[in-house]
Structure 1
Amino acid sequence: MQNVNIWSEEFGAATDEPILLIMGSMSQGVLWPDEFVGLLTAGGRRVIRYDHRDTGMSDTVDFAAHPYTWDDIKDDVYRVMDAHGLDSAHLVCHSAGGLLGQFVAVERPERVRSLTVIGSSPLGGGEGQVIMRALLGQPQPEGSLPVPLPEFVAFYQALIASPPPQDRRAAIEGMIAEQRLLHGTGLPFDEDAARRLQERIYDRARDLSATVNHRLAAGAKPDFEPVGVLHQVKAPTLVIEGTHEVAKPGHGALIAEQVPGARLMMVEGLGHTLPPEVHEELATAVLAHTAPRDR
């Protein structure tokens, strides 16, 4: 399905090195913090962030009538680049956005100036199946990716068993609880800031419940991720993982092992969110990694 309007915004000068920020599954582009974006633009980058289909201000889809797969979500990356007149860009990706970025780097290497993945899993590693087996209490096959931390599993098991929130207040409280879990225990959690963020996410969403379509898309094509292809990545690659990652602990090292020349950067205290305490460290690393180079 191609007739989906994708919301995006850009910052910085049109002549600066372009960075496309790709957020994770079921997540709006504004989860890339304004402060982090500001540090990148102050460092001389043209920064673009966008809402995936079925999130935020992008179009929502009647999945029953117009089903789609993660291939379509991946192709939206190209559509955003095209809409902003970019033949190529630096891709900076978080969580499942890292799977999209890795896939694009393999499929269309000429469009990727560099690749940065934060809190992500290796393409083709079956991350979704690992998490689902963990939530169902099923054993993991030998050689599977490292499992999420026990507190992650317990939280989502309880969430799945709970009725959906009945109003805005209950929904936002649940979203704050989820952010607290993903934040991890390595850095202080600012509940007031979390509330402001989740209120923004709730209020700007066309239909917050539409994010479940990303799960349906994963089920529509479970083999979305090609296996054994990361050696084909030609883009300079920076892999970032927090020391308090709760969802995908140890996955960053596996990406760095498989991508030729990739560099692994561990960030002290970082969980699976992007809190203010790490903005400067992350921005400094991304600015260095996206500095103009001969292509």
Structure 2
Amino acid sequence: MMPDNGAMVAETLPVNGIELCLETFGDPADPALLLIAGGASSMDWWEDEFCRRLAAAGRFVIRYDHRDTGRSTSFPPGEPPYSGVDLAHDALGVLDALGIHRAHVVGLSMGGALAQRIAAERPHRVLSLTLMSTTLGAAPESDDAPPEASVSGPGSPVATTDGDISEMPDWSDRKSSVERMITATKTLGGLFTAGDAHLRRLAERIFDRTNDMAATQLNHWCCQTGPPLRRPLCGITAPTLILHGTLDPMFPAEHAHALAAEIPGSRLVWLEGVGHEFPPAAVWQQVIDEIVGHAARGRQPA
């Protein structure tokens, strides 16, 4: 699976009746660390160097394209035949496809809501839990809880959320799509968001390896949430770390405080000057130190 030099390995594997594209970094003998991206966000948002540094710290790092992002299976725009629960099952399916029973799980934004569901309903699969730039996931038997599909990812705010394709911008045009992704990222970012040149290279890469940008920008937001959680978040037993930007415009500070209050024993760490975004390079070391240190305190595989 992984060459001796620990280089990145990319492959597409069958998961839950579809195909998901994933990449791994590091030594498979190290503890697994699964990165779950935000809504409408391919795995590219977990930047290569960030993943390499996590791997160098002694973690077998796994990132993947959600369905309808990147090179994973894509469905017609506005017609996603899946729910938020299926997206959570995909994360577990990635681990199954790699033969991994338990992992340290890191989820950002919508990925954080998916990670909460996994930790609450499949506690035996989670060694530790890190929640970034997110809010409380759907609560059991609650009609007014925020649905998982409403927890937007940093790559997504330019998408409409009502499933109306006629109101969608033209995502087939590379230049305009790249500019929209750059603008959206900067709008939600903070003091350390990457500059235009870096964001352009990243957005161009995302566009070039995405099967259907229109599906990416729409389908996660118009899919159904799925059944409510079977267990409350207060029942999460995995050691939980919450990383939250002090300048997050989508989920201000009260969301992080509410999340910390709901999950017993969780630890809240503020990322000064960070917005609603994947970790910018300026805070990589802090984020990596927190994730790796937190994971080291988690349960070890039997």
Structure 1: which 5+ residue stretches go unaligned? 133-151
The answer to whether the Cα contact below 8 Å between 2:78 and 2:215 also exists between their aligned partners in 1 is no
Partner residue, 1:283: 288
How big is the shift at 1:18?
A: 0.7
Shift in Å, 1:61: 2.1
Q: C-alpha offsets along residues 77-127 of structure 1, whole Å, 9 cap, x if unaligned? A: 111000111100000111000000000001110000000010011122633
8 A contact 1:182–1:272 mirrored in 2? yes
Q: Which amino acid aligns with 1:209?
A: A
- Choose which of 221, 242, 247 in structure 2 pairs with 1:244: 247
Is 1:171 matched with 2:177? Answer: yes
Check if 1:235 corresponds to 2:254: no
Q: Structure 1's 76 and 89: CA in aligned 2 closer, same or farther, altered over 3 A?
A: same
From the superposition, tell whether residues 43 and 61 of structure 1 become closer, same or farther in structure 2 (CA, over 3 Å): same
Q: Deviations over 1:103-156 (max 9, x none)?
A: 000111000000001001112263359979xxxxxxxxxxxxxxxxxxx99x88
Query: Quick one: which amino acid aligns to residue 12 of structure 1?
Result: G
Distance 1:202 1:14, change over 3 A: same
TM-score normalised according to structure 2 size: 0.81
The letter for the 2-side match of 1:245 is D
Superposition pairs for residues 1-295 of structure 1, below 5 Å? 2-62=16-76, 67-124=81-138, 126-128=145-147, 163-164=169-170, 167-184=173-190, 186-187=191-192, 189-211=194-216, 212-217=218-223, 220-221=224-225, 224-226=227-229, 229-250=232-253, 251-273=255-277, 274-291=279-296, 293-295=298-300
8 Å CA contact retained: 1:124, 1:228: no
Q: Residue by residue, what CA displacement relative to the aligned partner does 1:159-182 show, whole Å, maximum 9, x if unpaired?
A: x97743562111111111001112
- Take 2:87 and 2:251, find their aligned partners in 1: how far apart are those partners? 21
Give the direction of change, closer, same or farther, for the CA distance of 1:48–1:129 in structure 2 (3 Å limit). closer
**TM-aligned CA distance change 1:215 to 1:38, over 3 Å:** same
Whether the 8 Å CA contact 1:99–1:122 is kept in 2: the answer is yes
Secondary structure, in 3 states, of the residue corresponding to 1:30? helix
Q: What is the CA–CA distance in structure 2 between the aligned matches of 1:66 and 1:25, rounded to whole Å?
A: 13
The answer (yes or no) to whether the contact 1:123–1:225 under 8 Å persists in 2 is no
- On the 8 A contact 1:233/1:259 being kept in 2, the answer is yes
Gaps of 5+ in 2: 1-14, 140-144
> C-alpha offsets along residues 8-47 of structure 1, whole Å, 9 cap, x if unaligned?
1111111101100000111101111112111111101100
Secondary structure of 2:256 counterpart: helix
Identity, % of aligned pairs? 36
- TM-score (normalizing by structure 1): 0.83
Residue type at the aligned position of 1:289: H
Distance 2:148 2:57 in 1: 39
SS in 1 for 2:296: coil
SS, match of residue 6 in structure 1? strand
Tell me the C-alpha RMSD between the 2 structures: 2.7
- Residues 94 and 226 of structure 1, relative CA distance in 2, 3 Å threshold: same
Q: Which amino acid aligns with 2:87?
A: I
Question: Which structure has greater helix proportion?
Answer: 1
